[in-house]
Chains A and B, each alone.
Chain A
Amino acid sequence: MQLAFWILSFIAVFAAVMVILSDRPIVSGLFLLLSFTAISGIYLTLAAPFIAAMQLVVYAGAIIVLFLFVIMLLNQHREAPSKRNKFITFVSVLGAILIGVLIYISLLKSKILLSYTKMSAVGGMKNNVETLSVVMFGKYFIPFELISILLLAAMVAAVFLSKKRV
């Protein structure tokens, strides 16, 4: 379990770095697929097989394919060289990394998160899908129905935006 977590998290972070370093969108998209697949494996180490399957179906199966379709449709090869001010870009990236370091330090201050025994001690989540479905169609029934309205609205918006004359 431990070895699987470290290998998968290394793959996920490496692929994420390659997504932002590559200047060809199609390469970014394929590395994003690798990152999502690795994160799906990490969900398996967290005993969440339903979420892992949904990650593969929704992200790797639907969203990435949508991205790759649009990249091929728009015929994107390579980004043009940047005309931005180098200093402003450098300072903003530094600020973003500082935010990450701040969150990291605040995590290390937390005593509960550092305990090694708690993580494996959790039982009671056997048969993940059954537990999940009871909660989803009981306590979260109204939000579940509202999500379907949101998806319908998104579908109508996408169809409307891609009409010939808007």
Chain B
Amino acid sequence: MVAMVDYAILSVCLFTIGIVGILIRRNIITILMCIELILNSVNLLFVAFSRYLGNVDGQIFVFFIFAIAAAEAAVGLALVVAYFKLRETVEVDEIKLLKG
């Protein structure tokens, strides 16, 4: 039998892995991937609670988060491509145009 807490622990694991990835990776594309990982862990928690409470509202929210994740990936990657055309790099340590 799988309890609710197992889904919650899996979600926390994925969330922590995403945060650590944002901190240790230097390629901005990989950082965007880690953000997708974090959004996925939240989705998992939403669906698990929707099942647990017997209420489909959580699944509707997951549907909305899908749309927002798609929009975020599109705009983020467009920004990355635009910056690469300008400066020929996607390393976050090299991106310091606004750093005074």
| Chain B residues within an 8 Å CB radius of A28 | 30, 33
Contact flag A19-B15 (CB < 8 Å), given A2-B1, A67-B29, A150-B71 = no
B1 touches A119 (CB 8 A): yes
Contact flag A125-B29 (CB < 8 Å), given A51-B62, A108-B5 = no
- In whole Å, how far is B26's beta carbon from the nearest beta carbon of chain A? 6
Q: Which of B25, B43, B51, B56 contacts A20 (CB 8 A)?
A: B25
Contact digits for B1-32, partner A, Cβ 8 Å, 1 yes 0 no: 11111111110111111111101111101101
A74 touches B90 (CB 8 A): yes
Tell me whether B81 is interfacial, beta carbon within 8 Å: yes
Minimum CB distance partner of A18 in chain B = B17
Interface of B is mostly: helix
A19 touches B33 (CB 8 A): yes
- In whole Å, how far is A151's beta carbon from the nearest beta carbon of chain B? 6
Contact digits for B75-94, partner A, Cβ 8 Å, 1 yes 0 no: 10111111010000011010
Minimum CB distance partner of A28 in chain B = B30
Taking beta carbons and an 8 Å cutoff, which residues of B are in contact with A?
Answer: 1-10, 12-21, 23-27, 29-30, 32-34, 36-37, 40, 43-44, 47-48, 50-54, 56-57, 59-60, 62-64, 66-75, 77-82, 84, 90-91, 93
B70 touches A63 (CB 8 A): yes
Interface of A is mostly: helix
Q: How far is the CA of A104 from the CA of B13 in the complex (A)?
A: 9
Contact flag A136-B19 (CB < 8 Å), given A83-B93, A120-B1, A122-B54 = no
Residues of A111-131 whose CB lies within 8 A of B: 112-116, 118-120, 122-125, 128, 131
Contact flag A70-B21 (CB < 8 Å), given A51-B47, A119-B1, A151-B70 = no
Contact flag A124-B90 (CB < 8 Å), given A16-B17, A119-B3 = no
Q: Which of B17, B56, B81 contacts A135 (CB 8 A)?
A: B56
| Chain B residues within an 8 Å CB radius of A66 | 73-74, 77
Q: List 19 A-B contacts (CB under 8 A).
A: A39-B43, A46-B51, A51-B43, A58-B69, A70-B29, A73-B81, A74-B80, A76-B27, A84-B93, A97-B20, A100-B15, A108-B5, A119-B3, A120-B1, A122-B54, A147-B64, A147-B68, A154-B71, A154-B75
| Chain A residues within an 8 Å CB radius of B4 | 112-115, 118-119
| Chain A residues within an 8 Å CB radius of B43 | 39, 51, 55
